[in-house]
Amino acid sequence: MKLTRKYEFVDEAEANEAIDLLRDEEGNLTQSVVKLGYLTIEPPVIDEEGNTIKEAVVSTKYAVDVSWSITPLESWNNAMVFPTPMGIHSFGSSSQRDEYAKAYCELKPDSEYCNPPEITEE
Amino acid sequence: MSFYDDASLVFLPSGGAGKDTKAYSIKPTNGDGDFTFSRGSNLTATRVDSNGLIEKGRENLLLQSNQFDTTWTTSSASVTSGQGGYDGSTDAWLLEATGTSSTRVQQTISTDSVQTISVYAKKGTSDYFQIRLTGASTAFAFFDLANGTLGTLSNQVDASITSVGSGWYRCSLTRVGAATSARIYVTGNNTTSVTSGDNIYIQDAQLEQGLVATEYIESGATTGKAGILEDSPRFDYSGGASCPSLLLEPSRTNIVPISEGIPEDTIQVTLTENYGTSPEGVQNSLKVQKNGVSASDRIFPIDNYNATLVSGTSYSVSAFVKNIDVDGITTIGCRLGSGGTLFRLGYQWSGSSLTKATEYSAGTRTNEILEDYGNRWWRIGFSFEADNTQGGIELDIDRDNGSATTSIETYGWQLEEGSYPTSYIPNHSGGSVTREAEENTTANISSVIGQQEGTFFLDFEFLDGATAENQNWIALESEDGQSRVLFYKSASSNNLRLLNSQDGSTFFNKSSLIAISPNTRYKVAVRYSSGDQGVAVNGSMSGNNGTSTYTRTSLLSRVKFNESNIQPSCRVHQAIVFESGLTDSELETLTS
């Protein structure tokens, strides 16, 4: 089964250096790579006339997702991150989604995502 | 001669023969020539099926969907199997209160964003029951099984109760947000109050992504899946085709967080979720009615500047629309961030007919689309080059008539990086999703591929004629790639090319067989025999034949549609291999 893993790099150039390790001898990618770029952390605030009231807050890190069909390269490990598996980019595979959520909870067993609050009966 | 009889491998997608991970060849008949297909995405790949409807991958996220004593747990209630079901079976269950509150059966779940839970139910001693999805914002719906009506609702996007006969109803609840448990309560009335012994009948529960309950999928210890699975080849009937072709597309990401029913923002419109039948054939379209305030009464599938873009990169925006009563111009646009461009294209309604308009169009656009999806649905959109790093999508209902209170239906919003729009990628996740690139390759079948002589025929169409991308490297090749009979388009031109090599040495090549146009069918065949090569395109021999001689030591062993890991972007109608070299006349006939 393929694995979804998420990475953050200093900039696109550093990401490209890592991505180049995934190319074959003809320069073509051997893994599915999605360059998400500098992700928006907080969206901008726009008024009804379309004027920007508050600029968006954008991540300073360059995000890349990989769908690995091989064991993930160790050289990528330093850049690996595990954002909470809600409202994030995914490869359209339910099995990969579930595997990522499981890996997230193994890494962050005390997180709220992995310990949803008990629902009190109304 | 009969080309079929003489061929050693025949792949005809028009038969639509395949299953998850396999696309079958009709020859050789022992299965040796079958293709191994992979994509890896089951919830984002779609096709147009033989009924002209968009088919998705679907998944019942509940486990043991009709085994309410396994994985499910009860609270102040009991479950008893073997009851008469809605489908004439004895597969229904009695859900009976054993207490006076919280009388339910439930399953722990972990879902996100847009989801719909459904269950078949029939009144017992109680007329009412409740479905509840708990989470940060718990949603619930009460259902009156005596009268077939909805009761009290809370935090729902939608809820429905539909009679299926014999007193049975399919009841559903749709909500947005993370959910941690799915619960079915027996209740005494339209509140949670209940008397011990109250009961109802239930059967076939389903939890799925999306706005509407679709056909039931049984699940067991693992989730149930149907439709386009992770590695299902897509035999596609787009454009009203009577026979399918194999659709092979590159990896694309739909940036729209929720691509159906729930736009990120609106200006002066009234929304009705699950209003009508979408191009998918289920009732999950969104009705958008102008409030008549201005020409800019609109929805934002992505709110202003919420999408992260790369300046200088091509993107494609698309949406499905259907007219209700607009007599003007609907526009689709991408408004880029501060200092950026508004890219917009107008479409003129005339009843249910739609044509491209020049009014209200803005920005430099390419690959404008207007595709008829039947049942008065149209797919509209275009491609553009971003000149800013932030953008949004806006769909204006009628820019011609600002004060009108008219409406359209819409569905399937998509913003993807790429110079042309690809097939619809549904997204209910709240993030972005990627449909991965597709691969289609045979096993080692060197025994049915001619080595010193042979013919390779392809009948296919490009989805794009872009000049800056390597596309559709389709080959007969050896395992090490040193011997190749390769049709391809390089990044340096929009010409279809041919390369024949053996053991790394080129012996016959054509760098300009024909200039490619997207969505145009090409039939090409090459005779690659030692001492005698020729190639025909669409019924005519192309240029001079070759006379190079060679001895093949690195054997041609497979047919591969993503040679050199170049992502395909085409529709394949036929691929045929002959162990002998056909004559020029035969090549012309074959490609006519």
Same domain, B477 and B397: no
Give the pLDDT score at B550: 92
CA distance B399 to B202: 49
pLDDT in tens, A36-79: 999 988 888 877 676 778 888 889 999 999 999 999 999 999 99
pLDDT in tens, B205-215: 999 999 999 99
CA distance B280 to B53: 5
The answer as to whether B66 is a domain residue is no
Write the residue in B181, B223, B566 that is nearest to A119 by C-beta.
B181
Q: Which residues on B lie below 8 Å from A70 (Cβ)?
A: none
Structure tokens at B466: 């872009």
Return the ∠ at Cα A80 (arms to A64 and A104), rounded to 5°.
105
Helix (H, G, I), strand (E, B) or coil at B139: strand
Q: Which residues on B lie below 8 Å from A38 (Cβ)?
A: 308, 389
CA distance B53 to B450: 41
Helix (H, G, I), strand (E, B) or coil at B253: strand
Q: Write phi, then psi, for A97 (nearest 5 degrees).
A: -60, -45
Residue A26's pLDDT band, with cuts at 50, 70 and 90, is: confident
Write the residue in A30, A39, A91 that is nearest to B436 by C-beta.
A91
Residue A119 pLDDT > 80, yes or no?
no
The answer to whether A119 contacts B59, with C-beta atoms less than 8 Å apart, is no
Q: Which residue has the tokens 């169409």?
A: B461
CA distance B136 to B176: 10
Q: How far A96 CA lies from chain B's nearest CA (Å)?
A: 9
The answer as to whether B64 is a domain residue is no
Domain harbouring B262, CATH code: 2.60.120.260
Q: Which residues on B lie below 8 Å from A65 (Cβ)?
A: 434
For residue B289, what are the β-bridge partners?
Answer: B270, B407
Domain harbouring B518, CATH code: 2.60.120.200
Whether chain B has a CB inside 8 Å of the CB on A109: the answer is no
CA distance B36 to B562: 12
For residue B527, what are the β-bridge partners?
Answer: B455, B534
Q: How far A90 CA lies from chain B's nearest CA (Å)?
A: 5
Which B-chain residues 62-91 have CB contacts (< 8 A) with chain A? none
Write the residue in A29, A52, A101 that is nearest to B110 by C-beta.
A101
Q: Which residues on B lie below 8 Å from A92 (Cβ)?
A: 41-45, 57, 425, 433-436
Which A-chain residues 40-79 have CB contacts (< 8 A) with chain B? 40, 43-44, 46, 48, 50, 52, 56, 58, 65, 67, 69
The answer as to whether B63 is a domain residue is no
Parts of chain B with a pLDDT under 70: 1
Residue A93's pLDDT band, with cuts at 50, 70 and 90, is: confident
Report how many domains make up chain B: 3
Q: Percentage helix, strand, coil, to 5, in chain B?
A: 5, 50, 45
Q: How far B314 CA lies from chain A's nearest CA (Å)?
A: 14
CA distance B132 to B59: 19
Q: How far A43 CA lies from chain B's nearest CA (Å)?
A: 6
Structure tokens at B294: 């201005």
The answer as to whether B246 is a domain residue is no
Structure tokens at A29: 């990618």
Same domain, B307 and B262: yes
Please count the residue pairs, one from chain A and one from chain B, whose beta carbons lie less than 8 angstroms apart: 125
Same domain, B447 and B460: yes
Give the pLDDT score at B522: 96
With contact defined as beta carbons under 8 Å apart, do B95 and B200 qualify?
A: yes
Whether chain B has a CB inside 8 Å of the CB on A29: the answer is yes
User: Is the Cα torsion angle B144, B149, B152, B154 positive or negative in sign?
Assistant: positive
Same domain, B352 and B469: no
With contact defined as beta carbons under 8 Å apart, do B398 and B328 qualify?
A: yes
CA distance B376 to B351: 9
Whether chain A has a CB inside 8 Å of the CB on B20: the answer is no
Helix (DSSP H) and strand (DSSP E) numbers for chain B:
2, 47
pLDDT in tens, B26-85: 999 999 999 999 987 778 999 999 999 999 999 999 999 999 999 999 999 999 999 999
The answer to whether A94 contacts B306, with C-beta atoms less than 8 Å apart, is no
Give the pLDDT score at B422: 96
Q: Which residues on B lie below 8 Å from A39 (Cβ)?
A: 308
The answer as to whether B530 is a domain residue is yes
Give the pLDDT score at A121: 57
Same domain, B285 and B395: yes
Give the structural domain span for B43: 3-51+438-590
The answer to whether B338 contacts A2, with C-beta atoms less than 8 Å apart, is no
Same domain, B284 and B430: yes
> Which of residues B183, B208, B225 is at a domain's end?
B225
Taking Cα atoms as reference points, which of B224, B214, B244 lies closest to residue B66?
B224
Whether chain B has a CB inside 8 Å of the CB on A93: the answer is yes
With contact defined as beta carbons under 8 Å apart, do B103 and B186 qualify?
A: yes
Q: Which residues on A lie below 8 Å from B230 (Cβ)?
A: 93, 95
**What kind and span of H or E run contains B206?**
strand B199-209
The answer as to whether B241 is a domain residue is no
First-to-last CA distance in chain A?
42
CA distance B331 to B322: 13
Tell me the pTM.
0.94
- Those residues whose C-beta lies under 8 Å from the C-beta of residue B2, and which sit 6 or more positions away, are none
Residue A122 pLDDT > 70, yes or no?
no
**What kind and span of H or E run contains B485?**
strand B484-489
Write the residue in B110, B192, B433 that is nearest to A89 by C-beta.
B433
Same domain, B286 and B298: yes
Whether chain B has a CB inside 8 Å of the CB on A112: the answer is no
Structure tokens at B200: 């109802």
Same domain, B474 and B559: yes
Structure tokens at B413: 């919003």
The answer to whether B433 contacts A91, with C-beta atoms less than 8 Å apart, is yes
Which one of A31, A36, A41, A86 makes the best mutation probe of the B interface by having the most chain B beta carbons within 10 Å? A86
Same domain, B339 and B483: no
CA distance B336 to B342: 6
Domain harbouring B192, CATH code: 2.60.120
Structure tokens at A14: 């550093």
Supply the mean pLDDT for chain A.
Answer: 89
Structure tokens at B504: 């790394």
CA distance B194 to B188: 4
The answer as to whether B243 is a domain residue is no
- Over its C-alpha atoms, chain A yields an Rg (Å, rounded) of 18
Give the pLDDT score at A52: 79
The answer to whether A119 contacts B437, with C-beta atoms less than 8 Å apart, is no
Same domain, B370 and B402: yes
CA distance B397 to B261: 15
Same domain, B471 and B577: yes
Q: Which residues on B lie below 8 Å from A101 (Cβ)?
A: 110
Give the pLDDT score at B481: 86
Whether chain A has a CB inside 8 Å of the CB on B432: the answer is yes
Whether chain A has a CB inside 8 Å of the CB on B455: the answer is no
Same domain, B299 and B220: no
